[in-house]
């Protein structure tokens, strides 16, 4: 039974405040992680079990048998209070939001190979501001082919109709309704272990298709210049110096192609770039494990209207286990992202985060996380800082029911001649999850 079905999924669904659209990407990444976990003892990092990954058989959904597959129905109902619905600096308004998240997942029960598929929805209704109502949904599948004990191939694809949150720095603040977009994505990855070497590669494709916004007076807010296809191809070589330490080199190339033709007044943001990293993957007994990588990142734009971006790049994730019941996770990154702001082709995104999960009781999980991001826009005078903090807890009544309560705070500040919106948003959310 996969981790997705564990009772701890209730914690991840509620206490992690993530942008719309991430759920489908996480589904694809989970298949890859499952594939890499079978690579071999020299690369296994499993001496400690994180709180969110720990098995709780008495609180895990059993599912409904369907031949060689198992069907897992799930329904989450939220009630949320948001004190700044439009994420504005002045004149903030609050509202109570009711949200329903149905999901149906199907997973194989084979001894070798793995296949899963899902369909899920996310429907929100605002008590006072009905223009903010959203209807998000997605469908997808991922799997793994085990060639032998040392080699496998993972794959996945999904499609989703999503809504850009008001807190997104790229969304137009003048739009009377939140901006909607379609996201199509797919990946294929392969891993092979030969002695002390692990060879892996991955290809990704994502396609974004935005729908135009509209002001209160009916004027169209064109979003077609944000439509794009993003493809990337990466290769990685790990060398195990010991069963607990491996050094690696990873190179990723990307191509970002915008669908609207460039004009003198509105040049498109076509670009290509790469990320070259060297790093270490390690485990210190049952106390800590993680991965640290540094290197160089570069993005070159086809249009002379946008200057190229390059510089220091980094990715990091380290988990510390002070006790068997507590997990601390530190993350960090420095990457180049696409910009939806007129005059800027992209920006350097710098982020650090800290998350704490504690198993107070077998059926009571407490979690907290904080993140800081700084976005340095290229081509315009603008820097955005975002700070968030959230805390909550989940009480698992039994294998079918769970209740969660989460409180969060998000603050964005923006500086420069082209500064964006500054705001503070506080949210409190109560969730009831039913799974079978």
Neighbouring residues of 292: CB distance < 8 A, sequence distance ≥ 6: 279, 280, 316, 318
Euclidean distance between CA atoms 337 and 350, whole angstroms: 10
pLDDT tens, residue by residue, 254-313:
999 999 877 777 788 999 999 999 999 999 999 999 999 999 999 999 998 899 999 999
For residue 202, what pLDDT is reported? 98
Name the stretches of the chain with pLDDT < 70. 1-40
The CATH architecture that domain 3-435 belongs to is Beta Barrel (2.40)
Count CA atoms within 13 Å of residue 26 on its CB side.
12
For residue 37, what pLDDT is reported? 42
Backbone conformation region of residue 47, classed left if phi is above 0, alpha if psi is from -120 to 50, else beta: alpha
CA–CA distances in Å: residue 402 to residues 7, 121, 397, 418: 8, 19, 5, 45
pLDDT tens, residue by residue, 22-42:
333 333 334 434 444 444 478
For residue 343, what pLDDT is reported? 85
Q: Where in the chain are the domains?
A: 3-435
Token digits of residue 265: 């007044």
For residue 116, what pLDDT is reported? 98
Contact 261, 302 (CB under 8 A): no
Euclidean distance between CA atoms 131 and 112, whole angstroms: 48
Contact 230, 205 (CB under 8 A): yes
pLDDT tens, residue by residue, 147-165:
998 999 999 999 999 999 9
């Amino acid at each position: 039974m996969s981790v997705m079905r564990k009772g701890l999924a209730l914690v991840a669904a509620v206490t992690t405040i993530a942008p719309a659209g991430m759920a489908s990407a996480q589904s694809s990444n989970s298949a890859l992680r499952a594939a890499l976990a079978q690579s071999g003892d020299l690369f296994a990092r499993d001496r400690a079990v994180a709180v969110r990954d720990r098995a709780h058989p008495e609180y895990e959904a059993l599912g409904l048998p369907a031949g060689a597959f198992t069907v897992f129905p799930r329904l989450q109902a939220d009630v949320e209070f948001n004190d700044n619905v439009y994420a504005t600096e002045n004149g903030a308004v609050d509202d109570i939001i009711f949200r329903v998240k149905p999901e149906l997942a199907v997973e194989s029960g084979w001894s070798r190979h793995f296949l899963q598929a899902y369909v899920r929805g996310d429907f929100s209704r605002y008590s006072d501001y009905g223009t903010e109502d959203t209807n998000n949904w997605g469908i997808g599948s991922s799997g793994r082919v085990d060639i032998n004990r040392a080699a496998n191939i993972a794959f996945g694809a999904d499609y989703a109709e999503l809504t850009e949150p008001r807190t997104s720095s790229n969304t137009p603040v003048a739009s009377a309704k939140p901006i909607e977009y379609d996201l199509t994505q797919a990946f294929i990855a392969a891993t092979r272990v030969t002695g002390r070497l692990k060879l892996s590669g991955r290809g990704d494709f994502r396609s974004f298709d935005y729908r135009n916004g509209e002001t209160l007076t009916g004027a169209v807010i064109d979003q077609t210049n944000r439509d794009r296809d993003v493809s990337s191809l990466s290769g990685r070589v790990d060398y195990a110096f010991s069963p607990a330490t491996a050094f690696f080199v990873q190179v990723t190339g990307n191509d970002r192609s915008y669908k609207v033709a460039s004009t003198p007044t509105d040049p498109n943001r076509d670009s290509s770039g790469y990320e070259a990293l060297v790093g270490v993957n390690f485990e210190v007994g049952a106390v800590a494990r993680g991965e640290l990588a540094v290197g160089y990142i570069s993005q070159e734009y086809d249009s002379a209207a946008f200057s190229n971006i390059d510089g220091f790049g980094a990715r990091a994730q380290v988990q510390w286990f002070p006790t068997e019941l507590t997990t601390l996770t530190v993350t960090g990154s420095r990457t180049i992202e696409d910009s939806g702001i007129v005059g800027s082709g992209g920006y350097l995104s710098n982020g650090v985060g800290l998350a704490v999960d504690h198993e107070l009781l077998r059926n009571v999980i407490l979690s907290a996380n904080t993140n800081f991001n700084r976005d340095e826009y290229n081509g315009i005078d603008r820097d955005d800082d975002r700070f968030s903090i959230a805390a909550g807890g989940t009480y698992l009544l039994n294998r079918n029911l769970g209740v969660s309560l989460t409180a969060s705070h998000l603050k964005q500040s923006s500086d420069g001649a082209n500064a964006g919106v500054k705001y503070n948003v506080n949210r409190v959310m109560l969730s009831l999850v039913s799974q079978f």
